[in-house]
Structure 1
Amino acid sequence: MTIELTPTQILIGVGVVLVLFLVWRASARRRRAAADAARVSARLLSLTGRVLVQAGFIVGVQWVVITQQVSTTFLLVVLSVPALFAAHTLTKALTVTTVDSPRNKGERR
């Protein structure tokens, strides 16, 4: 049994295979983009949850120290340590750093 195909039939077959391959690649890209978007939103939600839990813990400790009326030194320590961490984080986040592009060997300053 022999199969005889005309050049037109061969081109149609190659075209169908090519279209199927392109559709498969496009769907893989869409799935990857959807997975990346879901990962980013989950990461943001996880970070938000951790920030809220930590803030609640800090506020709770400060509330206990303020309401129990312990020594003034202890009160200042409990209030200033979280403020130092917050100031450090804000300073790092708001500091603008420049990135110098690498120079070629023959370039002058």
Structure 2
Amino acid sequence: MTLNLTPTQILAGVGVLLTLFMVWRYSARKAQRAADKARASARVVSLAGRVLFTGAVFTGIQWLVITHMNNPTLVLVVLGLPDMIAAYVLTRALTVTSLDTTTRRGGDRR
């Protein structure tokens, strides 16, 4: 069995293969960008949940100490300690120390 293809048919086949390859690469990059965006939004939601939970714990402990204790030193510690922790966390959160970047493979350009 012999195939007899004209140069036009060969060029058309190569063009179709090249187009399919380019579409595949484009869709892979688009999927990667979508995954990166989803990860970033999940981080924000997770952080918000942790902040709300920690705030509720601090508030509950402060309420217990203030309503059931008469020791002024203990009240000052219970009110001051969360402020110190919050100041530390805010300072760390607002200070940029590194960039969240993904590793690139080969000669992939951005």
Bucket of the pairwise TM-score, normalised by the shorter protein: 0.7 to 0.9
Gap regions ≥5 residues in structure 2: 98-110
Instruction: Compute the displacement of 1:30 (Å).
Output: 1.1
Q: Distance in 1 between matches of 2:53 and 2:62?
A: 14
What is the rounded CA distance, in whole Å, between the counterparts of 2:83 and 2:49 in structure 1? 20
Q: Partners of 1:70 and 1:3 in 2: how far apart?
A: 97
Cα distance in 1, alignment partners of residues 38 and 96 from structure 2: 30
Q: What SS is found at the alignment partner of 2:78? A: helix
**Aligned-pair identity (%):** 59
TM-score by length of 1: 0.80
- 1:83 is displaced (CA, Å) by 0.8
Q: Which has the larger radius of gyration?
A: 1
How far does the alpha carbon of each residue in 1:16-69 deviate from its partner, in whole angstroms, 9 at most, with x for none?
000000001111111111111111111110111011101110011001111113
Determine the structure 2 residue equivalent to 1:101.
none
2:63 is the alignment partner of 1:79: no
List gaps (5 residues or longer) in structure 1: 98-109
| Cα shift readout 1:54-99 (whole Å, capped 9, x = no counterpart) | 11100110011111133111101111111111222334455689xx
TM-score (norm 2): 0.80
* Corresponding position of 1:100: none
Q: Hey, what's the Cα distance between the residues in 1 that align with 2:93 and 2:36? A: 25
